[in-house]
Amino acid sequence: MISVEAFDLLATTVLLLNPAGEVVVANAAAEDMFGRSRRHLIGQPAALLFERDSALEQSIRQACSGEVADCRQFAMTRRATEAVEVAVTSIALVQKPWAALLEVKDIEQRVLVDRSLRLVEEVETQHELLRNLAHEVKNPLGGLRGAAQLLESELPDPALIEYTRVIISEADRLQALVDRLAAPQRMPVQWQSVNIHEICERVCALVRAEFREVAILRDYDASMPELRADPARLMQALLNVVRNAAQMLTQQPGATRSPHITIKTRIARQVLLRHKQHRMAAVVSVIDNGPGVPHTLQERIFHPLVTGRDGGTGLGLSLAQDFVQQHGGVIEFDSQPGHTEFRLMLPLEPI
């Protein structure tokens, strides 16, 4: 026995059709997919929900009559003013109250999902490793520092103090690094209602002051609602991403001509972030016209201690990814010379 309500739990759009190819049941995801309420979907010929496509019409007809068991193809549908490419699977149902089932998936979203899940898993593994490492390094480091201090007080020749000082200061440096590595997990998240554009503006002001030669452009979606977030973490995450862009534009050999960064905000619909389907997400894109992320680093830039920059510690992106993930979101990027885009994807739940 199939419960119709169970379809509402699915992230994928599901339509159940009668033998005439009309929608009898539409799940919650279908309302978002087609931008219409269930009331407006039910009774509609399913083929009319897509742009005219005779191959699709035929497979829906064949599935409804039980001639073909299942068939998957690509089609176009409209959501508001936007054309969206989707994958449609028509499945014939035998001895069920409905003649056929249509499963509809956003193509772009599917690609994003695969990538963001992979990222999340990678970062989680890294964290585990780092927490253990930090823990293991802390104790011997304390011992080392203490022993150097004792040694210093016993040294017969004051000229030798120089060496114990090196041991102590290097131990302190390592201690600070270990603390930074373990830091994001320690403090509780301070949730509040946040205007993302205020955060963008503050980051903008900071980066402008530091990198005067870089033009920073803004392209904000004014309809963006407030989101529940920890403003300090969000700001740090965005700052790390924007500073990276500014550094790549100015500090690398052969610095970019007319360097600029665009900070763009948009609302995305039906996104799967961290195993959870969200009706809406805020997307903050940071786009630069710099040299791009080196190929050798592309797979690893979110890992801690991975850097392609002289003087970089390689913690900026790992920390940013961490902070965004604490919000249930993810950072992803596309990069080629002249166009690099980092996207902070944050779930937007009604507050």
Ligand X SMILES: Nc1ncnc2c1ncn2[C@@H]1O[C@H](COP(=O)(O)OP(=O)(O)OP(=O)(O)O)[C@@H](O)[C@H]1O
Token duo for residue 23: 């929608």
Residue closer to ligand X by CB (options 21, 304) is: 304
Task: Give the H/E segment covering residue 282.
Answer: strand 276-288
Closest by Cα among 288, 294, 324 to 307: 294
Per rule CB under 6 A, is residue 314 in the interface with ligand X?
Answer: yes
**How many degrees, rounded to 5, is the angle at CA 118 between CA 115 and CA 119?**
90
Alpha helices in 155-230 (DSSP H): 161-182, 196-210
Tell me the backbone φ, ψ of residue 175, rounded to 5 degrees.
-60, -45
Q: Which listed option, Mg ion, ligand X, none, makes contact with residue 52 (CB within 5 to 8 Å by class)?
A: none
Beta bridge partners of 13: 104
Q: Which listed option, ligand X, Mg ion, none, makes contact with residue 288 (CB within 5 to 8 Å by class)?
A: ligand X
**How many degrees, rounded to 5, is the angle at CA 338 between CA 332 and CA 343?**
20
Per rule CB under 5 A, is residue 316 in the interface with Mg ion?
Answer: yes
Which span sits near ligand X by CB under 6 A: 27-35, 74-82, 197-205, 302-310?
A: 302-310
Number of H helices, E strands in the chain: 8, 12
Q: Which listed option, Mg ion, ligand X, none, makes contact with residue 329 (CB within 5 to 8 Å by class)?
A: none
Among 167, 307, 326, 334, binds ligand X (CB under 6 A): 307
Per rule CB under 6 A, is residue 116 in the interface with ligand X?
Answer: no
Q: Which listed option, ligand X, Mg ion, none, makes contact with residue 314 (CB within 5 to 8 Å by class)?
A: ligand X
Residue closer to ligand X by CB (options 44, 307) is: 307
Tell me the backbone φ, ψ of residue 258, rounded to 5 degrees.
35, 65
Residue closer to ligand X by CB (options 175, 252) is: 252
Among 16, 340, 346, 348, binds ligand X (CB under 6 A): 340
Site pattern 263..292 for ligand X (x: CB under 6 A): -------------------------x-x-x
Residue closer to ligand X by CB (options 34, 333) is: 333
Residue closer to Mg ion by CB (options 4, 297) is: 297
Closest by Cα among 265, 247, 252, 253 to 207: 247
C-beta of 306: minimal distance to ligand X in Å? Answer: 6
Contact set for ligand X, span 155-184 (CB under 6 A) = none
C-beta of 221: minimal distance to ligand X in Å? Answer: 22
CB 320 within 8 A of CB 199: no
Which burial class, exposed, middle or buried, applies to 153 when counting CB atoms under 10 A from its CB (0-12, 13-18, 19+)? exposed
Contact set for ligand X, span 227-266 (CB under 6 A) = 240, 244-245, 248
Cβ contacts of 50 within 8 Å, gap of 6 or more: 56, 75, 76, 77, 86, 88
Q: Point out which residues bind ligand X (CB under 6 A).
A: 240, 244-245, 248, 288, 290, 292-293, 297, 301, 306-309, 312-318, 340
